[in-house]
Amino acid sequence: MSKKNLDWSNIPFDYVVTDKRFESHWKEGAWDAGGLTDDPTMHLNECAQVLQYSQCCFEGLKAYETKEGNIVIFRPDLNAQRMYDSEKRLEIPPYDKDQFVDAVKTVVRANADWVPPYGSGASLYIRPFVIGSGIMIGVAPAPEFTFRIFSTPVGPYFKGGVRPISVMVADSDRAAPRGTGDIKAGLNYAMSLSTVMAAHRAGFDDCIYLDPATQTTIEEASGANIIFIDKDGGLVVPKSNSILPSVTRRSLVDMAKDTLGMKVTERVVRYDEIKDFAECGLCGTAAVIAPVYKITKGSDEIIYGSSSEITPVLAKMRKTLTDMQVGDIPAPEGWVVPVE
């Protein structure tokens, strides 16, 4: 084994072709055992269901190198469960959860040279996904499906490294009240592109959404959940049926309570009260915790801390989470899974 020759501390959040990926097929009622392949290109008929009607969902998780040089992954069982839930909602035959975790480990093991070294701040991003690959011209589920996992080494999600970001409140919705906001369907991300690009064109790093029914409560960003710290240093987490159940957010909630002894409140959060919070951040696998220093809605501007430095409570939470993820400090049982 020898690590690839990359400038590990400065890699962007980008796709790189790594050595191996895993692929499995569903046909005539069953998933096959699947296996590794070298080919990064997928070959699809022009009438593949996914190309017409978007029957697809995906996951995202990361592998890290520990100080001792071992490779670990963070809570893959939760990604397996969420993928299962997404598949059920989209009429995709669910992939076995244990097989999902085994396949993730197989991909990481096969691309061990691409796992960024301990201390670089980078990680190996793992992207499992499933698509309706069979031919379908009427609006119906695909007759065949393809499950695939690739991996790519990544650095910070937002350009410019770990830094406070600015976000704009979107003026349209990413998900309907009883829609697919709580699963990781590709179609949610297509829905978010126009608002994300409008935010970028206006000079913001990202946009955040209000609830689709009333536009008065806080939902999430296009690729991350939102968390707040109140004036007493407590964690406040917006609750909604139309946001993704983030693995990072759920881990932060437990960590804040059990490791940091913080008060944690999970509740509906109104837009008109967020000016009273002390800190704000976006959290997710890709984002980790990205501090938010500015939220803009029309002529309204809310500022948290400064544009140059991460606010103190989120800084402590980020450090504790990332220390757990690389095994520097103990994590709750089952969170940090070795890839033998």
Q: Interface residues with ligand COI (CB under 6 A)?
A: 60, 223, 284-286
Which of 183/262 has CB closer to ligand COI? Answer: 183
Q: From the list ligand PLP, ligand COI, none, pick the one residue 148 interacts with, judged by a Cβ distance below 5 to 8 Å according to partner type.
A: none
Closest approach, Cβ 224 to ligand COI, in A, equals 6
Closest approach, Cβ 322 to ligand COI, in A, equals 14
Q: From the list ligand PLP, ligand COI, none, pick the one residue 247 interacts with, judged by a Cβ distance below 5 to 8 Å according to partner type.
A: ligand PLP
Taking alpha carbons only, the member of 18, 20, 16, 14 closest to residue 107 is 20
Give the CB-nearest residue to ligand COI: 60
Which of 76/223 has CB closer to ligand COI? Answer: 223
Closest approach, Cβ 285 to ligand COI, in A, equals 4
Which of 34/284 has CB closer to ligand COI? Answer: 284
Binding to ligand PLP (CB under 6 A) within 232-271 occurs at: 244, 246-249
| Residue among 153, 155, 179, 223 that touches ligand PLP (CB under 6 A) | 223
Number of residues that this document lists for the chain? 340
E strand residue ranges, 71-143: 71-74, 123-132
Is there a contact between 91 and 141 (Cβ–Cβ < 8 Å)? yes
Asked whether position 217 contacts ligand PLP by CB under 6 A, the answer is no
| Collapsed DSSP state (helix, strand, coil) of residue 165 | strand
Say how many CA atoms lie within 13 Å of 313 toward its Cβ. Answer: 26
Strands 264-267 and 235-238: parallel
Taking alpha carbons only, the member of 320, 11, 312, 286 closest to residue 164 is 312
Asked whether position 285 contacts ligand PLP by CB under 6 A, the answer is yes
E strand residue ranges, the chain: 21-27, 30-31, 35-37, 56-58, 61-65, 71-74, 123-132, 144-154, 165-169, 206-210, 218-221, 225-229, 235-238, 264-267, 279-284, 288-297, 300-303, 336-338
| Collapsed DSSP state (helix, strand, coil) of residue 160 | coil
- Nearest 5°: phi and psi at 255? -65, -40
Q: From the list ligand COI, ligand PLP, none, pick the one residue 93 interacts with, judged by a Cβ distance below 5 to 8 Å according to partner type.
A: none
* Binding residue count for ligand PLP, defined by CB under 6 A: 12
Where do runs of H (alpha helix) occur along 217-301?
Answer: 247-258
Q: From the list ligand PLP, ligand COI, none, pick the one residue 12 interacts with, judged by a Cβ distance below 5 to 8 Å according to partner type.
A: none
Can 105 be counted among the known catalytic residues?
A: no
> In DSSP terms, which residues pair with 266 in a beta bridge?
237
289 vs 283: CA distance, rounded Å: 4
Which of 222/296 has CB closer to ligand COI? Answer: 222
Which of 3/178 has CB closer to ligand PLP? Answer: 178
Q: Which of 20, 62, 105, 184 is catalytic?
A: 184
Closest approach, Cβ 330 to ligand COI, in A, equals 24
- Nearest 5°: phi and psi at 159? -55, 140
Q: From the list ligand COI, ligand PLP, none, pick the one residue 220 interacts with, judged by a Cβ distance below 5 to 8 Å according to partner type.
A: ligand PLP
Asked whether position 284 contacts ligand PLP by CB under 6 A, the answer is yes
Which of 185/286 has CB closer to ligand COI? Answer: 286
Asked whether position 60 contacts ligand PLP by CB under 6 A, the answer is yes
Binding piece for ligand PLP, criterion CB under 6 A, among 37-45, 48-56, 222-230, 309-317: 222-230
* Look-up of token digits 């009240």: 177
164 vs 158: CA distance, rounded Å: 10
Catalytic annotation, residues: 184
Interacting residues with ligand PLP (CB under 6 A): 60, 220, 223-225, 244, 246-249, 284-285
